[in-house]
Each structure stands twice: as C-alpha cells, then as structure tokens.
Structure 1
Amino acid sequence: MTGITLTENAARRINTVLASEPSGSMLRISVDGGGCSGFQYVFGVERTRHDDDVVVERDGARVVVDGLSMQYMDGAVIDFVDDLIGQSFKIENPQATASCGCGTSFSV
C-alpha cells in the first residue's frame, strides 16, 4: 500500500472546513458504487474513527478513509482546486481507468 497524499492546497481547505466543526472532526472520504462511471467519491465530516480506517495527515488536516475504500484509492493524490468552473476537491487516482467530467466518479 502506497497510501494517499494530501497537497498543501487540500490541507489548507480541509483545515478551513473543519474550523467550524467540533474539535476532533476529520474529513471522511469513501468510495461508493454509483455515479456516471461506476464508483463515486463521497465526502463528509466525522468525529469517529473506525478500526479499519487509514488516517492521512498534513499540516494539521486529517482525512480518514475506510479500508474497503482504500483499495480503490491507494496511491491517490487529493488536491483542492479553484478555477473557472468553481472550487472543489480533485482526486488524482492512479487506479481509475476512466472518470467523468465532474471528477467525482470513476471506473477501475
């Protein structure tokens, strides 16, 4: 397992989002079936860490990914982009063989 990498921009945005949440909150990213390409990323704020969670930290920002989702995200880079289309987290996933235009769903 090579893990997941957070960019500096992603860590900064996660810290901004979590600043208004209760102490100990983390960003949870999971992979669910669905979306226009077969799988989709789901983002949420959570305070509970489960036994099979992988925790990724950078500059005080914490992201948790469950073990099942990790097998689809191993090696991914999580970034935060602000461009003409808008602001969003962008996941560059080396395991994805295709993704949709919105960037939130992919296939393997």
Structure 2
Amino acid sequence: MTEASRQVQMTESAAKRIQELIASEGAANTMLRLQVSGGGCSGFQYEFSLDSDTTDEDCIFENHGAKMVIDEVSLDLLGGAEIDFVREMVGSAFRVNNPNATSSCGCGSSFSI
C-alpha cells in the first residue's frame, strides 16, 4: 500500500464535532480514535472513542484542526477513507466512507472487504 493510499481524511463537519466532543470532556491532547474490530453484521465494525494515549503502532492524522488516531492494523482496512459527521432526522453519527469496503450494513457501522 502506498503512502498516499494509507491516508485517512476527515471532513470539516467531522473535525468540528471532534473539537466539540473534546471541549465537552475538558481534556487537552485528546484525539478521536478510530479502530476496526471483528464483528458487526458485515464482518468488521468501526469503533470510535476519545483517547489521549498513543502507541508506536498508531498513526495520527490531522485535518481542519482536529486529530484522529488509527492503529496500523485498522489503517490497512481504512486507507483512503474519509470520515464525516452527519446530522439527520434519525440521529447524528460519524460516517466512514471507506473505498476498501465491498459491502456494509444499513446503518453503516459495519462492513466487509
């Protein structure tokens, strides 16, 4: 995988929501952690959390003033993805536009490759 294809972008909407979450927690040096784990109705699922700790196996991405951390294993499944935050009548959520996913569930929280 080339360096460019390992990049993960976030929209301005996602960056703004990350900043809002961090401000409400009152924790400095906090980032959004995006992780992929086995499970969900399609095989893999996205997990989001706030984290201030990183390891040597983490990659940090910054867009629009917000930081996101992704571990190397998850990055293999997320390379080239864009993270968005959408507000809809049924609720608000982070949405992953993942070019590596061949299918996903209806709610968009799990996928297969």
Query: What's the TM-score once normalised by structure 2's chain length?
Result: 0.92
Runs of 4+ in 1 over 4 A off after TM superposition: none
Tell me which amino acid in the other structure corresponds to 1:18. Answer: I
In the alignment, the residues of structure 2 paired with residue 92 and residue 38 of structure 1 have an alpha-carbon distance, to the nearest angstrom, of 16
Match of 2:41 among 8, 32, 36: 36
Give 2:15's aligned residue.
11
Match of 1:49 among 34, 42, 54: 54
SS at structure 2 position matched to 1:10 = helix
SS at structure 1 position matched to 2:111 = strand
Give 1:94's aligned residue.
99
| Identity rate, percent | 47
In the alignment, the residues of structure 2 paired with residue 103 and residue 59 of structure 1 have an alpha-carbon distance, to the nearest angstrom, of 24
Tell me which amino acid in the other structure corresponds to 1:50. Answer: T
Tell me which amino acid in the other structure corresponds to 1:74. Answer: G
In the alignment, the residues of structure 2 paired with residue 16 and residue 67 of structure 1 have an alpha-carbon distance, to the nearest angstrom, of 26
Which runs of 5 or more structure 1 residues have no equivalent in the other structure?
none
Task: Supply the RMSD in Å over aligned alpha carbons.
Answer: 0.8
Which runs of 5 or more structure 2 residues have no equivalent in the other structure?
none
1:77 aligns with 2:87: no
SS at structure 2 position matched to 1:80 = strand
> How far apart are 1:77 and its partner, in Å?
0.5
SS at structure 1 position matched to 2:101 = coil
Q: Which has the higher helix share?
A: 2
How many corresponding residue pairs?
108
SS at structure 2 position matched to 1:19 = helix
Instruction: Report Cα offsets for 1:10-47 as digits up to 9, x if no partner.
Output: 00001001112211111100000000000000111111
Instruction: Report Cα offsets for 1:48-102 as digits up to 9, x if no partner.
Output: 0111211111222110000000000000000000112210000000000000011
Query: What's the TM-score once normalised by structure 1's chain length?
Result: 0.96
